[in-house]
């Protein structure tokens, strides 16, 4: 058995999202800070987070934090730089973001220093190539991006083989990378704590509305970008109107497509049925509204990244009708909590919505399935499952250093 460390062990985390300098501290993504709070809650020692610097205007759900109000140690390194050895040389475990190619050299460095390293991964090479393909840029530039992604993927897989383990978000990436590590933890990302989930009363109220035949209330939240399929939302709305379906559609989010979408909305004269709310606070506005007022999430995602949108919508008792990318199909393998349609076919997606509107009992059952699946993978339980991996990999008697809340046992074939 390894001897007890003489001081509290250090967990070093390198998030996939950047931070920005501010007048009195740092601008940090809300979800990133929530994650750090959970790391601190479960890790029996010191947590150090190493952010790369970036612009504040690309952090949509963020606010300024003073250093003394942060839950852990935070370091800011220059944009485009690798993590310096001084930031992790004393680590008991390093949690690194495999999405960022700048973190891939950590595999060799941690192996040389005999520091356990867990890579967090969610996108497959197929998703990355899809992201490169939908960029609005010349063909030559997109081709170069694709070649760069393929070359980086070779390095990524080599890094996985050197690392101690993988923490994989979603089914698609698990299927792609589980053969590259002997220690793989699958989880579903979500910001939803048990207290944020839809209540049984809210679920019953929405199911009662469906039974009464009231108009279907559709919703979308996320970045208004082509990658998220936001450019197809107005087409879906037009098809529903042409089909004579009574409905409303609430769109939450901001992005480069927002002006064009507003123009298209006016051209189609659908302002009475489609509302664009812009970006709103996730916890205080979006979640309560979705729990009470959204029946079905319209998901035109072109890529297969395991967006937290899926589980977060379902936690509000909102099933999903969306393009059948690998991420949505993987979730629907676990529960009948939605319907997948053909990719890049908004007319087919609209047809599926019309069909669901005529099958109210089926849609009501999907609401219950969605809430049940999200409840099994809430934010706190997911971190509890992931804690088991960190502590096992640390290979030290860490639990004696602090009372740690018990973590649920991970079911590897089902995911955490």
Give a yes or no: residue 406 inside a domain: no
Give residue 63's pLDDT: 86
Give residue 7's pLDDT: 52
**Measured distance CA(166)–CA(168) in Å, rounded:** 6
CATH number, domain at 250?
3.40.50.2000
Contact 378, 188 (CB under 8 A): no
Give a yes or no: residue 411 inside a domain: no
In total, how many domains does the chain have? 2
Give a yes or no: residue 321 inside a domain: yes
Please indicate, yes or no, whether residues 112 and 200 belong to a single structural domain of this protein: no
Give residue 229's pLDDT: 92
Please indicate, yes or no, whether residues 166 and 276 belong to a single structural domain of this protein: no
Neighbour-count burial of 79, counting CB atoms closer than 10 A to its CB (0-12 exposed, 13-18 middle, 19+ buried): exposed
C-alpha torsion 89→92→97→98, nearest 10:
90
Contact 79, 54 (CB under 8 A): yes
Give residue 327's pLDDT: 87
H, E, C per residue of 61-95 = CEEEECHHHCCCEEEEECCCCCCCHHHCCCEEEEE
Please indicate, yes or no, whether residues 139 and 94 belong to a single structural domain of this protein: yes
User: What is the domain range of residue 78?
Assistant: 10-188+377-401
pLDDT tens for each residue of 368-387: 999 999 999 998 888 887 88
Give residue 355's pLDDT: 97
Please indicate, yes or no, whether residues 361 and 388 belong to a single structural domain of this protein: no
pLDDT-flagged residues of the chain (< 70): 1-8, 395-416
Please indicate, yes or no, whether residues 44 and 163 belong to a single structural domain of this protein: yes
Please indicate, yes or no, whether residues 352 and 394 belong to a single structural domain of this protein: no
Please indicate, yes or no, whether residues 281 and 244 belong to a single structural domain of this protein: yes
Please indicate, yes or no, whether residues 368 and 289 belong to a single structural domain of this protein: yes
Neighbour-count burial of 116, counting CB atoms closer than 10 A to its CB (0-12 exposed, 13-18 middle, 19+ buried): buried
3-state secondary structure of 244: coil
Please indicate, yes or no, whether residues 64 and 112 belong to a single structural domain of this protein: yes
Please indicate, yes or no, whether residues 144 and 230 belong to a single structural domain of this protein: no
Please indicate, yes or no, whether residues 264 and 178 belong to a single structural domain of this protein: no
Give residue 230's pLDDT: 95
């Amino acid at each position: 058995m390894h001897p007890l460390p003489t001081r509290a062990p250090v967990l070093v985390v390198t998030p996939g999202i950047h931070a920005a300098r501010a007048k009195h501290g740092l601008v940090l993504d809300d979800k990133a800070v929530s994650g750090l709070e959970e790391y601190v809650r479960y890790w029996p020692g010191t947590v150090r987070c190493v952010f790369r610097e970036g612009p504040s205007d690309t952090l949509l759900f963020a606010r300024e934090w003073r250093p003394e109000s942060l839950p852990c140690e935070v370091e800011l390194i220059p944009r485009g730089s690798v993590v310096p050895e001084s930031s992790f040389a004393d680590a008991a475990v390093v949690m690194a973001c495999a999405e960022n190619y700048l973190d891939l050299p950590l595999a060799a460095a941690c192996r040389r220093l005999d520091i356990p390293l867990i890579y967090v991964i969610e996108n497959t090479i197929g998703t990355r190539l899809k992201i490169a393909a939908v960029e609005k840029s010349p063909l030559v530039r997109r081709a170069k991006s694709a070649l760069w992604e393929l070359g980086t993927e070779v390095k990524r897989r080599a890094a996985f083989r050197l690392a101690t383990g993988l923490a994989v978000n979603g089914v698609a990436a698990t299927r792609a990378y589980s053969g590259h590590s002997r220690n793989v933890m699958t989880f579903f990302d979500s910001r939803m704590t048990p207290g944020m989930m839809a209540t049984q009363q809210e679920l019953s109220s929405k199911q009662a509305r469906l039974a009464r035949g009231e108009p279907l209330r559709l919703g979308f939240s996320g970045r208004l970008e082509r990658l998220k399929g936001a450019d197809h939302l107005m087409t879906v709305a037009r098809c529903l109107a042409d089909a004579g379906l009574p409905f409303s559609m609430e769109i939450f989010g901001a992005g480069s497509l927002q002006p064009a979408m507003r123009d298209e909305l006016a051209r189609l004269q659908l302002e009475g049925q489609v509302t664009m709310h812009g970006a709103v606070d996730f916890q205080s506005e979006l979640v309560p509204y979705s729990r009470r007022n959204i029946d079905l999430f319209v998901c035109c995602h072109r890529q297969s990244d395991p967006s937290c949108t899926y589980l977060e919508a379902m936690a509000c008792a909102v099933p999903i009708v969306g393009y059948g990318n690998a991420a949505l199909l993987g979730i629907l393998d676990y529960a009948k909590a939605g319907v997948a349609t053909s990719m890049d076919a908004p007319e087919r997606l609209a047809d599926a919505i019309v069909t669901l509107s005529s099958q109210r009992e089926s849609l009501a059952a999907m609401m219950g399935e969605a809430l049940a699946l999200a409840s099994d993978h809430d934010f706190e339980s997911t971190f509890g499952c992931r804690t088991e991996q960190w502590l096992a990999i640390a290979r030290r008697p860490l639990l004696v250093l602090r009372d740690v809340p018990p973590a649920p046992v991970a079911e590897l074939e089902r995911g955490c």
